[in-house]
Amino acid sequence: MQNNNRLSLRVRRITYEAIGINSYELVDPNNADLPAFTAGSHIDVHLPSGMVRQYSLSNDPAERNRYVIAVLRETNGKGGSQAMHDMVHVPDLLSVSLPRNHFALAPAGQKHLLLGGGIGITPLKAMAHDLAARGADFELHYCAKEPAYLAFADEFAAWQAAGRAGLHFDGGNPQNGLNIAALLADAAAGTHVYYCGPKGFMQACADATAHWPKDHVHAEHFSAPASDGAASASAVSDGSFAVQIASSGATLNVPADRSLVEILHEAGLNVDTSCVSGLCGSCKVGYLSGDVDHRDYILADDERLTHLTTCVSRSNGALLVLDL
């Protein structure tokens, strides 16, 4: 069932996949087909606690009868994963967004290297389903602490037997696992690399692909990378700036200690939000002029010429004109 760009889906099955990881199979209550999605997509899940969390779709995009997500219980997180594990049951109804994709497979890729660390394997698993169905050239590398932490083990066993997947266990010491630098040393023409996982894994992949063509490297972050403290300088010395709403001409001031999306909401402009970290794209809007200080982790360079994320973006100048 769909209402206001949200789906009301039934939790049909919850499966223990690995230590700390459950998968959740979501279906239409009336067994109707679900909106199609592409490999790398995620959905926003509106939890019973009121929180909203983003989870990657891990199943084969050819499947129209279900969405499958996997959730790692984070004991030191912000409570979203614990709410999923403790408060969501079969046959609950969950409100979820339509699928969105900021981590898509490159259409022109001749070969695809997929690297997943821990729960970061979920979007890459969907990619592997898609690539295998198309007969595309790909390698999938799944890094985990040990076999007990390996989710979806049966499905990966088939890819491993076909020579498409490598499983790498480090026992808790990354030095004993996959040699990411060696794997990515050669930026072969036509090859694209995709990676997702915890922060240390993400940094290792980023370092190993520093010499790759930028448009051949694709990453999805589950949390915002640590800042190096070198924020772009604002043209206004105190960090504030103004935004003008193109449709009305109204001008709003954004103080240094407030986000753009907060100011828009206070002015009655209802921009969708979800992660408020520049990771999901829910709050993306167009802009018509201005020097944007982009602080998101999802927009491509060409998108940044016309769009910004209102949860984290700021201005390097005194004024931004928004296409609202």
For residue 215, the domain's CATH number is: 3.40.50.80
Q: How many domains does the chain contain in total?
A: 3
pLDDT for position 26: 98
Q: Is residue 310 part of a domain?
A: yes
Q: Taking 70 as the threshold, does the pLDDT of residue 318 lie above it? A: yes
Note if the bond before 174 is cis, omega within 30 degrees. Answer: no
Neighbours of 201 (CB within 10 A): 21
Residue 276 confidence class, pLDDT cut points 50, 70, 90: confident
Last residue of one domain, picked from the residues 40, 75, 97: 97
Condensed to tens digits (0 to 9), the pLDDT of residues 3-39 reads 667 899 999 999 999 999 999 999 999 999 999 999 9
178 shares its domain with 251: no
Condensed to tens digits (0 to 9), the pLDDT of residues 68-99 reads 999 999 887 778 899 999 999 999 999 999 99
Q: Taking 90 as the threshold, does the pLDDT of residue 229 lie above it? A: no
89 shares its domain with 132: no
117 shares its domain with 214: yes
Instruction: Report the CATH number that the domain containing residue 91 is assigned in CATH.
Output: 2.40.30.10
197 shares its domain with 127: yes
State percent of the chain over pLDDT 70: 94
Residue 232 confidence class, pLDDT cut points 50, 70, 90: very low
64 shares its domain with 121: no
Q: Is residue 226 part of a domain?
A: no
State percent of the chain over pLDDT 90: 73
Instruction: Report the CATH number that the domain containing residue 263 is assigned in CATH.
Output: 3.10.20.30
Q: Judging by beta carbons within 10 Å of its beta carbon (0-12, 13-18, 19+), is residue 237 exposed, middle or buried? A: exposed
Q: Is residue 227 part of a domain?
A: no
Q: Is residue 142 part of a domain?
A: yes
155 shares its domain with 206: yes
136 shares its domain with 85: no
Say what the pTM is: 0.80
165 shares its domain with 197: yes
Identify whether the C-beta of residue 54 lies closer than 8 Å to the C-beta of residue 43. yes
Q: Is residue 91 part of a domain?
A: yes
42 shares its domain with 140: no
Q: How far is CA 77 from CA 105, 140, 189, 318, in A?
A: 29, 28, 40, 36
Query: Secondary structure of the chain in the HEC alphabet?
Result: CEECCEEEEEEEEEEEEECCEEEEEEECCCCCCCCCCCCCCEEEEECCCCCEEEEECCCCCCCCCCEEEEEECCCCCCCHHHHHHHHCCCCCEEEEECCECCCCCCCCCCEEEEEEEHHHHHHHHHHHHHHHHHCCEEEEEEEECCHHHCCCHHHHHHHHHCCCEEEEECCCCHHHCCCHHHHCCCCCCCEEEEEEECHHHHHHHHHHCCCCCHHHEEEEECCCCCCCCCCCCCCCCCCCEEEEECCCCCEEEECCCCCHHHHHHHCCCCCCCCCCCCCCCCCEEEEEECCEECCCCCCCCCHHHCEEECCCCEECCCEEEECC
25 shares its domain with 78: yes
Residue 56 confidence class, pLDDT cut points 50, 70, 90: very high
Condensed to tens digits (0 to 9), the pLDDT of residues 107-162 reads 999 999 999 999 999 999 999 999 999 999 999 999 999 999 999 998 998 899 98
pLDDT for position 51: 87
Q: Report how far residue 166's alpha carbon sits from residue 141's, in angstroms, rounded to the nearest whole number.
A: 5
132 shares its domain with 196: yes
Q: Taking 80 as the threshold, does the pLDDT of residue 235 lie above it? A: no
- Average pLDDT over the chain, rounded to whole? 90
Q: Is residue 236 part of a domain?
A: no
Which residue segment(s) compose the domain that 158 sits in?
Answer: 111-221
What integer is the mean pLDDT of 288-301? 89
What length does the chain have?
324
For residue 71, what are its two tokens? 């959730």
Q: Taking 50 as the threshold, does the pLDDT of residue 206 lie above it? A: yes
Q: Is residue 210 part of a domain?
A: yes
What integer is the mean pLDDT of 205-228? 84
Q: Is residue 195 part of a domain?
A: yes
Last residue of one domain, picked from the residues 74, 97, 120: 97
What integer is the mean pLDDT of 270-279? 81
Sheet containing 191-197: order of strands: 165-169, 137-144, 111-117, 191-197, 217-221
245 shares its domain with 213: no
Last residue of one domain, picked from the residues 97, 125, 159: 97
Residue 307 has phi, psi (to 5 degrees) of: -135, 160
